[in-house]
Structure 1
Amino acid sequence: MSPPRRNAVPPDPAPPTELLVLAGLPRDLTERVAALLLAAPGTVVVGHDLRDVADGRVRRRVRATTLGTADTPATRTDSTTDVRLAHGCVSCTLREDLLPELLRHAGTATRVVLHLDPVLDPEQVCWALAHVRTEAPGGGRTVVTDVLDLRGVVTAVDSSSWLDDATGDAVLDDRAVARLPDDDRIVAQLVTGQAEFADVLVLDGTTSGWTLARTHAALARLAPAARRTTLATVTADPDLLGLRDLPADARRGRVDDVHAPLLRGTPPLDEDCGLALHLFSARRPFNPERLHEAIDVLLDGVVRTRGRVWLATRPADVLWLDSAGGGLQIGHAGSWLADTSPDVWQAADPQRVALAAAGWDDRFGDRSQDVVVLVDGARPETIDAALRAALLTDEELAAGPGAWAELPDPFGQWHADPCGPGPARTPLEQHHDRGGHD
């Protein structure tokens, strides 16, 4: 008698190809980190040099280390290709070349490393990875994170210069980086954004013990969930770059909603080396003209400011305030839930609805001022007093919304400080900004 047939057990599916984003302003340091990652067989490193993007050309570099076999050792490949774009912009680079190139390695590599050009902000790139649809190799359209497993972001930090960069007003033209069209960010906005969005911060550079202590104090408050390590440490143990044992509250490339808690993770709330976090909150609107006069207090002795702002002249609008060093921007970021229809509530993120309901005000609903400031030398009480003086007075508040609408409002739809003739926009804002306007 033949033995009974048994159903074949299908093999476990192969794990998806991992995706890791590598960012940082110091080109030589990110290159050394990329080389460490490339040492692992099955790794592909994809990078785009954007220094000629304004002329409609970028250079794509793809490096790979094969897996090898028992009979064939792993080998290295390195190719560079000039890519011509229909329009000279970062968005075209993403849509036409970078995203399809990442998808091309899905299933054939163990890990893909996206090595960003020094001028790019990883938060906005990660937003594109999760939201911008592109042609899939097998047909149809998809987003990269539906195919590749985004493990997180590694940011390289030059310990000798990062804090000066983060608190200064140097412009990108002062550095050997790409000059992107319509990009008026300063160096401080770039380096704080790169550090703030990291899951692992790799520090290197020779500096004094005091400067290093202050840098660590700033990074602990700017990116509290990120693991801080050194290039020497990861050189001895490259597995630390694998992002496999991060804490539960690690960001892992996820872009927060504008209404998410401003104090992500558990940052230290005490002062250390002159650095401290200050939270400003209020339940009445700002007088726009007085706020415009007061925002200079956020540009001196401050590393970073971010938060939601409510102007008396715009009762429906959530504005997002964002500063680093000597640069500041305020832009439209959506609408308050107050006075909206039930379908807006139903479509809103459940966490946002819960937070709004918990702090609901009978008169103003979920409208509020919530701003976090990372100070470095500035006194929190000075900042608090300046912002509170910019709120509507009791008399102005009693005058009501009709009178508020007539107040002078120096803020455009997107405002940059120092004031300039045009909007200051970051490279991907035609696809994604806090306000969503083009």
Structure 2
Amino acid sequence: MSVPVVIVSGLHPEPRSALVDRLLADHPGSVAIHHDLREVSTGRVQRVVRNASGTLDLHEVRLAHGCVTCTVREDLIPELLSLAGSASLLVVELWDSVEPRTVAEALAWHEDTVHRLRLTGVLTALDAARATDDICCDDTLAARGRHAAAGDARHLAEVLARQIEYATALVVSGAEEDVELALAVLGHLAPTTPAAPSDLAPPAVTGARIDVEMLGARVDPATAQLPCDARTGEISTVVWHRLRPLHPQRLFDAVDELVTETVRSRGRFWLANRHERLLAWDAVAGVITVEDAGPWLVTLPEAAWEMESPARRMAATLDWSAPLGDRVQHLVFIGPDLDRDRILSLLDSCLLTESEALAGSDVWAGYPDPFASVLDLEETSA
């Protein structure tokens, strides 16, 4: 019979470790594994194995290449398998800046773990006061000494956003007023994910295997379950949903205002001059990433649809409109005191005018493309 495994992530070590302690105390026979990655760039990692009584093993691991992927493949999975015969629950406590998706998929899809381990949850523990500050912070991980590998250029806020949005449950600790604000923010960032104060019972973690493919589909740009229009006190989520294509230069000129006036924004969109490609928008704390997420399904032969995931086909069906198919502008913007009318009017001004739209794709192809330096570089390096 397979042993349940739960992943606990979080930028803030104190609430994360406290949640792990709670899980160990509530589940007799459970064991937790944590890899300290402070020196991973040198190929050295410290592995700590503990139970409710204390530390069982402290071991320095040397890796051929210092990275999170190597740590998971070369040490975490073998260690979990070695403990599977005696533990009632295995808790994987991730290092501060490790994003849980990489680890979850490695555990779920590794050929040696399929029958012996079952991933039952991905929990993210948050310090209420620091989380609401960090989601607005433009510091890099390296600037805070929290990077997970040499050359790690990620920002603190983008890692925190991914830890929040990928989780199956969120646990928040801190003073009552801080927790109340954090829960309100989380209700906008991840409205379908259960979130609760840490003084309540932790989420159940010994049940059925979670579907990692569906978990990924919740956050992938082509299939993401994006938040709806909402307002909680001063916090707003503004949804922009349109069908007409965007003019590349006008959108590019509007990007700075859109990302600096909001805390978090994401979604999928299409540029007139790249009308066959689904583009992903991902911005947090003033830092934006625009990526090519593949073709719109309407551009593919019908036979190719069978090669796409059920989630991808469902998302395309929900967005479908003739004659555009699944092409859509669907962006969401989250932040305090947002000027909804300003955001919507600014984005609407970036759409093609009626006469530009009627000119057709041959004309659109000739538009100057300021996004080319990012998107074409992506294609070259792929």
Which category of TM-score, normalised to the shorter sequence, fits these structures?
0.7 to 0.9
* C-alpha deviation, 1:29, in angstroms: 1.9
1:282 and 1:369 in contact (8 A); partners too: yes
Moved more, 108-117 or 25-34: 25-34
Give the residue type in structure 2 aligned to 1:29: P
Which residue does 2:281 correspond to in 1?
Answer: 321
After superposition, the Cα gap between the structure-2 partners of 1:149 and 1:327, relative to the gap in structure 1 and judged at 3 Å, is same
Which residue does 1:426 correspond to in 2?
Answer: none
Q: TM-score if structure 2 supplies the norm length?
A: 0.88
* C-alpha deviation, 1:119, in angstroms: 0.5
- Write the distance in 1 (CA, Å) between the matches of 2:197 and 2:213: 20
Listed as ranges, the gaps of 5+ residues in structure 2 are none
Alpha-carbon deviations, 1:178-217, whole Å to 9, x = none? 353343222211222212222332222237x3x5433221
Pick from 163, 170, 187: which aligns with 1:194? 163
Which residue does 1:243 correspond to in 2?
Answer: 205
Greater Rg, structure 1 or structure 2? Answer: 1
Matched ranges for 1:235-384 at <5 A: 240-243=202-205, 254-256=215-217, 257-263=220-226, 269-357=229-317, 359-384=319-344
After superposition, the Cα gap between the structure-2 partners of 1:119 and 1:357, relative to the gap in structure 1 and judged at 3 Å, is closer
After superposition, the Cα gap between the structure-2 partners of 1:333 and 1:105, relative to the gap in structure 1 and judged at 3 Å, is farther
Pick from 21, 25, 29: which aligns with 2:7? 21
1:127 and 1:254 in contact (8 A); partners too: no
Q: Does 1:156 align with 2:121?
A: no
Which residue does 2:66 correspond to in 1?
Answer: 88
After superposition, the Cα gap between the structure-2 partners of 1:34 and 1:319, relative to the gap in structure 1 and judged at 3 Å, is same
Aligned length: 377
Which residue does 1:79 correspond to in 2?
Answer: 57
Q: Does 1:102 align with 2:64?
A: no
Over the matched positions of the two proteins, sequence identity in percent amounts to: 33
Pick from 188, 198, 222: which aligns with 1:231? 198
After superposition, the Cα gap between the structure-2 partners of 1:360 and 1:224, relative to the gap in structure 1 and judged at 3 Å, is closer
Which residue does 2:32 correspond to in 1?
Answer: 45
* C-alpha deviation, 1:360, in angstroms: 3.2
Alpha-carbon deviations, 1:368-389, whole Å to 9, x = none? 1111222322212222122222
After superposition, the Cα gap between the structure-2 partners of 1:79 and 1:51, relative to the gap in structure 1 and judged at 3 Å, is same
- Write the distance in 2 (CA, Å) between the matches of 1:18 and 1:387: 46
- Write the distance in 1 (CA, Å) between the matches of 2:80 and 2:323: 50
Any idea what SS the aligned residue of 1:232 has? coil
* Runs of 4+ more than 4 Å apart: 249-253, 412-415
Pick from 144, 165, 168: which aligns with 1:175? 144
1:298 and 1:383 in contact (8 A); partners too: yes
Matched ranges for 1:390-429 at <5 A: 390-412=350-372, 414=374
Alpha-carbon deviations, 1:383-406, whole Å to 9, x = none? 212222222222322222122222
After superposition, the Cα gap between the structure-2 partners of 1:44 and 1:380, relative to the gap in structure 1 and judged at 3 Å, is same
- Write the distance in 2 (CA, Å) between the matches of 1:330 and 1:35: 39
* C-alpha deviation, 1:57, in angstroms: 1.8
- Write the distance in 1 (CA, Å) between the matches of 2:61 and 2:43: 8
Alpha-carbon deviations, 1:327-361, whole Å to 9, x = none? 21111212111221232112223343344345433
Alpha-carbon deviations, 1:227-264, whole Å to 9, x = none? 33333334xxxxx3433689xx9989821154325336
Give the residue type in structure 1 aligned to 2:18: R
1:150 and 1:252 in contact (8 A); partners too: no
Give the residue type in structure 2 aligned to 1:379: D
Q: Which has the higher helix share?
A: 2
Any idea what SS the aligned residue of 1:395 has? helix
Give the residue type in structure 1 aligned to 2:251: L
Any idea what SS the aligned residue of 1:30 has? helix
After superposition, the Cα gap between the structure-2 partners of 1:285 and 1:183, relative to the gap in structure 1 and judged at 3 Å, is farther
Any idea what SS the aligned residue of 1:51 has? coil
Q: Does 1:204 align with 2:173?
A: yes
* C-alpha deviation, 1:307, in angstroms: 0.8
- Write the distance in 1 (CA, Å) between the matches of 2:58 and 2:225: 41
Any idea what SS the aligned residue of 1:260 has? coil
1:286 and 1:311 in contact (8 A); partners too: yes
* C-alpha deviation, 1:308, in angstroms: 0.9
Alpha-carbon deviations, 1:128-178, whole Å to 9, x = none? 3334x3xxxxxxx34x45532211122111111211211232222342423
Q: TM-score if structure 1 supplies the norm length?
A: 0.77
